[in-house]
Amino acid sequence: MSTSTRAGLVVENPASGTVLRTVPLVGPAQVLETVRWARAAQPAWVALGFPGRAAIMRRAQRWILDNAERVISTVVSETGKTYEDAQSTDLAYTVQALSFWAAHAERYLEDERLRSFSSPIVAGKRLVLRHVPIGVVAVIGPWNFPLVNGFGDCIPALMAGNGVILKPSEVTPLSSLLMVEMFAECGMPRDVFQVITGEGSTGAALINCVDAVMFTGSTRTGRLVARAAAEAMIPCHLELGGKDPMIVCADADLAKAAQAAAYYSMNNAGQVCTSIERVYVEAPVYEEFVQRVVKIVGSLRQGPPTGPGTVDVGAVIFGPQLEIVERHVNDALVKGARALTGAHARAGQGRFYEPTVLVDVDHTMDVMREETFGPVVPIMRVSDVEEAIRLANDSPYGLQASVFSRDSARGEQIARRLEAGSVCVNSAQLNYFALNLPMGGWKASGLGARHGIGGIRKYCRTQSLFVSGFGPRRELFMFPYRRRVTRMILRGLRLLYGRGSRR
Ligand code: NDP
Three-state DSSP at 433 gives helix
Helix (H, G, I), strand (E, B) or coil at 47: helix
pLDDT at 7: 65
Nearest CA owner, ligand 1 atom 28: 218
> Which residues, including other chains, have CB under 8 Å from residue 35's CB and lie 6 or more apart?
136, 165, 206, 209, 210
Would the pLDDT of 1 be above 60? no
The model's pLDDT over 276-320, given as tens digits with 9 standing for 90+, comes to 999 999 999 999 999 999 999 999 999 999 999 999 999 999 999
CA of 85 to the centre of ligand 1 (A): 20
Cα–Cα distance measured from residue 333 to residue 325, given in angstroms and rounded to the nearest whole number: 12
Catalytic residue list contains 282? no
**What atom in ligand 1 is closest to the CA of residue 242?**
41
Q: Whose CA is nearest to atom 46 of ligand 1?
A: 169
Atom 12 (ligand 1) nearest CA: 200
Residue 163 bridge partners (DSSP): 136
Among 215-219, 355-359, 384-388, 492-496, where is mean pLDDT lowest? 492-496
Residue 203: CA atoms inside 13 Å, Cβ hemisphere, count? 24
Do 169 and 176 touch, CB atoms closer than 8 A?
A: no
Residue-wise pLDDT for 25-80, tens only, equals 999 999 999 999 999 999 999 999 999 999 999 999 999 999 999 999 999 999 99
Q: Which of 249, 242, 278 is nearest to 261 (CA)?
A: 278
Please give the share of the chain, as a percent, with pLDDT higher than 70.
Answer: 99
Q: Which residues line ligand 1 (CB under 6 A)?
A: 140-144, 149, 167, 169-171, 199-200, 203-204, 216-218, 221, 224-225, 239-241, 273, 318, 321, 324, 371, 373
How large is the average pLDDT for residues 327-333?
98
Q: Which ligand 1 atom minimizes the distance to the CA of 399? A: 41
- Say how far apart CA 345 and CA 316 lie, in whole Å: 10
Say how many Å lie between the CA of residue 302 and the centre of ligand 1.
25
222 CA to centre of ligand 1 in angstroms: 8
Q: Are 427 and 408 in contact (CB under 8 A)?
A: no
Q: Tell me how far apart the 2 most distant CA atoms of the chain are, in Å.
A: 92
- By most ligand atoms within 8 Å of CB, the mutation choice from 89, 151, 169, 201 for ligand 1 is 169
**Three state DSSP letters for 130-162:** EEEECCEEEEECCCCCHHHHHHHHHHHHHHCCC
pLDDT tens column, 95-144: 999 999 999 999 999 999 998 877 888 888 999 999 999 999 999 999 99
Each residue of 420-458: pLDDT tens digit?
999 999 999 999 999 999 999 999 999 999 999 999 999
DSSP class of residue 11 equals E
Question: Which residue CA neighbors atom 4 of ligand 1 most closely?
Answer: 217
The rounded Å distance from CA 369 to ligand 1 centre is 19
pLDDT recorded at residue 5: 56
pLDDT in tens, 364-388: 999 999 999 999 999 999 999 999 9
12, 170, 239, 370: the active-site residue: 239
d(C-alpha 359, C-alpha 344), whole Å = 16
Pick from 153, 167, 221 the residue to mutate for probing ligand 1's pocket: most ligand atoms within 8 Å of its CB.
221
Distance 218 CA to ligand 1 centre (A): 5
Mean pLDDT, to the nearest integer, of 215-237?
98
Element (H, E) at 82: none
Catalytic: 273?
Answer: yes
Average pLDDT over residues 215-238: 98
Q: How far is the CA of 142 from the centre of ligand 1 (A)?
A: 5
